[in-house]
Amino acid sequence: MDLDDRMRASQPAVADAMAEDGLSALVTVPVSADSRRLGALVLGLGGRQDDGLISLDEPGSPRATDPAEIDLLWTLGRQAGQALERARLYEETARQAERSAFLLEAARLLAGAADLPETVERLAALAVEHLADLCVIDLVSEHGMVRPAARHRDPRLQHLADEVRVRP
């Protein structure tokens, strides 16, 4: 059983799609960064040359991959991996900046509160503005458990939060 037969037996939809597009081979290139595998690029070879590029291969002949092409593909995989890693690091940095800004805003708002009721109200407002749809704050006091704040993100649903606040 040759490779074409194995492909048709194991992945008939892929084989049909390749045949429909005139592809004769697939090349899988590992995408990596810092010795970690991040994924793979799968390239189809032998397809139509609609892009105007000059091909020196004979029409219908199997395409040989020379060492320079292999090196180019490995380099492409490494560069793609590095680009993905840079994008991941950028996103992580942006998330950290958002968290830091949130914590700074929380500290500023809470420090400006005059007393406990104002502090919990500000905390509940901050939570529904940035973190949650509903915030209910329970505190333990000398009189037992108290629920000084309940806030909903949607003002139309605040009445439900108020109901939760008065129920034990």
Tell me: the pLDDT tens digits for 74-85?
Answer: 999 999 999 999
pLDDT at residue 53 in the model: 46
pLDDT tens-digit readout, 35-55: 899 999 988 887 555 554 444
Cβ atoms < 10 Å from Cβ of 160: 13
Which amino acid is it at 123?
Answer: L
For the record, the structure tokens of 99 come out as 């968290």
Report the Cα 11 to chain-centroid distance in Å: 29
**How many Å apart are CA 137 and CA 93, to the nearest integer?**
31
Q: How confident is the model at residue 64 (pLDDT cuts 50, 70, 90)?
A: low
| 120 contacts 130 by C-beta, under 8 angstroms | no
User: What is the rounded average pLDDT for all residues in the chain?
Assistant: 85
Look at phi and psi of residue 17 and say left if phi exceeds 0, alpha if psi is from -120 to 50, else beta.
alpha
pLDDT tens-digit readout, 155-166: 999 999 999 988
Domain boundaries, the chain: 1-45+66-111, 116-168
Q: For 37-41, 43-47, 128-132, 138-142, which range has the lowest pLDDT when averaged over its residues?
A: 43-47
Q: Residue 18 half-sphere exposure, CB side, CA atoms within 13 Å?
A: 18
